Amino acid sequence: MNKKGQALVEMAIITPLLLIMLLGMIEVGHFMRNYMVAVNASREGARFATKARNLNIDGKTPQQIGFTDIISHTMINLGDLPDVEIAISVFQYPPTWPCDPDSRKPPENKDAWPNCHCLDPGWIPEQPIQGKYPATQPQLTYGSSEIDFTSYYNRHYKSHLQATCSLVKTSTQAVPIEEIEVVIEVFYIHKQLLGFPLFTVFVPEEVEFRVPTAMRYAESREAE
């Protein structure tokens, strides 16, 4: 009789714990599912935007630029994810000879730029070179972005110049390229599936997430 009573007590203790673990697994699975949907949609939107002819940076309206098509493509991949907002930012990195403030083509001797250390981005000045950068806004925007545009542009333009410098060091026939970078930000409100009171004590029932994806392409590339 004592053993049977002990078993009942143990079951009474273990069953709620197992139930909590099961509910927790359901909530974690629900969160991972929503997050992966947002990640996939963000990547697909950026991939679609960077495919040739899907983005026209010279357009004047969202339709002409291609924003409406990018939004539609991203939304399709979001499925039934609720409370979604999408922001698009387009940055343009102009073709520039990085080691010359006047943006002149380097001499035939590619070693004539002894101070151009391609592996050290520190040689690129923080201040604008004849107004070429930094940019205070991206080339084009759609929606409310959380990007610090100036900091983002400076940091990524440095890597663009560094890549151009490395290219020039390799060949005297190299020419700088113009790069376009598209950043897709997907914002969504994650809501707990079950709203179990024990969970909401530690984690809010609704949490906003931001899922960004950035992709680049060379403006001169051929259609895919």
Q: Is residue 102 one of the residues assigned to a domain?
A: yes
- Kindly give the residue spans of alpha helices, DSSP state H, lying in 117-203: 149-170, 197-200
Q: Is residue 156 one of the residues assigned to a domain?
A: yes
The whole-angstrom separation of Cα 126 and Cα 12 is: 66
3-state secondary structure of 182: strand
Q: Is residue 223 one of the residues assigned to a domain?
A: no
Which pLDDT does position 222 carry in this prediction?
38
Q: Is residue 91 one of the residues assigned to a domain?
A: yes
3-state secondary structure of 170: helix
Q: Is residue 35 one of the residues assigned to a domain?
A: yes
Q: Is residue 224 one of the residues assigned to a domain?
A: no
pLDDT in tens, 63-118: 888 888 999 999 999 988 878 999 998 888 877 665 554 555 555 545 545 555 55
Residue-number span of the structural domain to which 53 is assigned: 2-218
Q: Tell me the two tokens of residue 165.
A: 């410098």
pLDDT in tens, 174-197: 677 778 889 999 999 988 877 777
Which pLDDT does position 211 carry in this prediction?
95
Q: Which of 100, 108, 93 is nearest to 220 (CA)?
A: 93
Q: Is residue 65 one of the residues assigned to a domain?
A: yes
Q: Is residue 212 one of the residues assigned to a domain?
A: yes
Query: For the chain, how many structural domains are there in total?
Result: 1
pLDDT in tens, 121-172: 444 444 433 333 344 455 677 788 888 887 888 778 777 777 777 776 676 6
Q: Is the pTM of this model over 0.85?
A: no
- The set of residues, in sequence order, having a beta carbon less than 8 Å from that of 145 and lying 6+ positions away, is 87, 89, 183, 185
The whole-angstrom separation of Cα 116 and Cα 124 is: 9
